[in-house]
Amino acid sequence: MHQETLNKRSKTKGGKWIPALCNIIGTLILVFVIVTAVPLSVPRFFGYEIYSVVSPSMQPELPVGSVVYVKAAEPKDLAEGDIIAFSRGDTTVLHRIVENRSFERDFITKGDANSINDPDPVLYEAVIGKVEHHFAVFGRFLSLYSSGVGKIYALILALCGVMFNMLASLLRSRRAAKMQNDAEQEL
């Protein structure tokens, strides 16, 4: 009888850690998707525009690959040293204010890594807002999640996390059913 009990324990020993491992993997995948997606979407509800830094002109303050949160601001309230986002043609530029020329209703700007000021002043009307926060590396996720393929990858990754958790539940229920079946056969 004692040998029978030992054999049953050895057969079911892996039945506990495999579902636990599946749960851990599934949860980590889901947490990763959430942690990388939330900072790229939730701030929009609080009035922020989100941009990814693709040029080294603002290094070292804003390294390439950073994500920046831009909040709308009144141009007259912006001061020398503030980093602003502004439209220049079809491009959004992030540069530091060198001078706010309120009488002319424009700014003189410069990228931190550039040796000279920008050649053209930035009109008040072109200002999108002031850079409030920035985080290195998250811009890479912004680029990924903003593309169609990136959204599909994120969805597939999240589904994999859900499937790992479902697999863990299935393995646990099969183990419980087998244990119940074995108990009934002993009686």
CATH number at residue 108: 2.10.109.10
* Residue 132 included in any domain: yes
- pLDDT value for 21: 92
- The two three-digit tokens of residue 178, written as one number: 């087998």
Phi-psi region of 98 (alpha: psi -120 to 50; beta: other; left: phi over 0): alpha
* Residue 31 included in any domain: no
* Residue 71 included in any domain: yes
- pLDDT value for 39: 75
Q: CA gyration radius for the chain?
A: 28
- pLDDT value for 47: 87
* Residue 13 included in any domain: no
* Residue 96 included in any domain: yes
**How many structural domains are present in the chain?**
1
* Residue 38 included in any domain: no
Which domain range does residue 69 map to? 45-136
* Residue 59 included in any domain: yes
For residues 49 and 180, give the distance between their C-alpha atoms in angstroms, rounded to a whole number: 57
- What is the DSSP code string of 93-111? EEEEEEEEETTTTEEEEE-
- pLDDT value for 162: 94
- pLDDT value for 177: 84
* Residue 92 included in any domain: yes
For residues 144 and 69, give the distance between their C-alpha atoms in angstroms, rounded to a whole number: 17
For residues 142 and 124, give the distance between their C-alpha atoms in angstroms, rounded to a whole number: 27
Residue in the block written with tokens 């602003």: 84
- pLDDT value for 6: 43
**CB environment 122-149: b (16+ within 10 A), e (fewer):** bebebbbbbbeebeeebbebbebbeeee
> Global pTM?
0.67
Q: Write out residues in the chain with pLDDT < 50, as ranges.
A: 1-3, 5-7, 10
C-alpha distances (whole Å) from 39 to each of 21, 65, 73, 179 are: 28, 14, 21, 45
